Structure 1
Amino acid sequence: MESTTLYALFFFFHLYLSGSSAMQHGKKTQHQPCKHLKFFFHDIIYNGKNAENATSAIVAAPEGSNRTILAPQNHFGNVVVFDDPITLDNNLHSIPVGRAQGMYLYDKKDTFYSWLGFTFLLNNTDHQGTINFIGADPILVKTRDISVVGGTGDFAMARGIATVMTDAFEGEVYFRLHVDIKLYECW
């Protein structure tokens, strides 16, 4: 019986030591990202009049809705596909360093909320490859985190977090997102 108590005491002492080694000055240690990137992507929704400039289109809408106007009640039920330019600054007319391609769907009736699934395709002198993203986007929250779930090329099998911030929007036709990417698994 005493050896069982001794083993239990040793086990809890070991847990205490391993837990305290992860603490520094009362805070858990933070892993540092292996890559840190910042981009902007620009989305211009097709509204029936802007075909030359549009980079996205509503491909599904609630029954009876117009696919050139986002649905009422927080756009619930709209599905949008996009092929947006990615820039290093917030200027739509800057030279793109890649494309953001994917979709978002509005999936909540009582507030602006969407689900994102997209890829950054980068093909410039600094970066070659893709970064894949997926996650929920509570649009009205200032900063939101979505998962980086993989990639190719310079970003092969990358994993991390992308903090998304709405940088600008003009009505329901244009918005610009600032994406701050921190990769914690780099190969």
Structure 2
Amino acid sequence: MAAPHVSGIVALLMSKGYTGVETIRKILRDTAEDLGEPGFDNYYGAGLVDAYRALTYDTGYEPFIVWTVDAVTGVIDSITCADEGGNFLLTEVIARSVYIYAWRDVDRNMYLTSGDLYGYYGYSGGNPKDGTPTAITVEPGETITVEFQFSPIITDRLKPVFEGSLLQKVLEIKEAAVEEYYNKLERK
């Protein structure tokens, strides 16, 4: 059943002007959802094809996602995207004490991996796993301004844990932001 799906994505890529077997193969591999053992394996190959990621492969736009996590419960509290200048506004922060994180999926593989930009309020450089976020206390109706650092993840051995429902929620916002970005381009 994979052949019709892959063929359809190949046809869509060709309609966008992509040519050459190796070019299209690279796009399909780079954007596939990895299944089974990390990387290529004999059972899953390169993974599950992802039409959306394949068709937005070379666009260059990747939003900077910013979110807060309740410092007491560890549950995601509020999430948004930074604008092109790196500014962001979290309008629906519910918890009084939160940690603020940011991530840009530079390689667009939908996971926090080497090469991605990652940081949090309280990060001061070096390995992000070595530091801990600093909690920010916000009173109801209060507006505060914070600046914080981020850096590229140099190696996957140094990346923080970032998975499960938190990752899923961040990815949903990311996909919506990318879609909104391209809809704006089409309206221009």
Q: TM-score range by the shorter chain?
A: under 0.3
TM-score normalised by the chain length of structure 2: 0.28
Instruction: Give the TM-score normalised by the residue count of structure 1.
Output: 0.28
More strand per residue:
1
Which one has the bigger helix percentage? 2
| Larger Rg, first or second structure (1 or 2) | 1
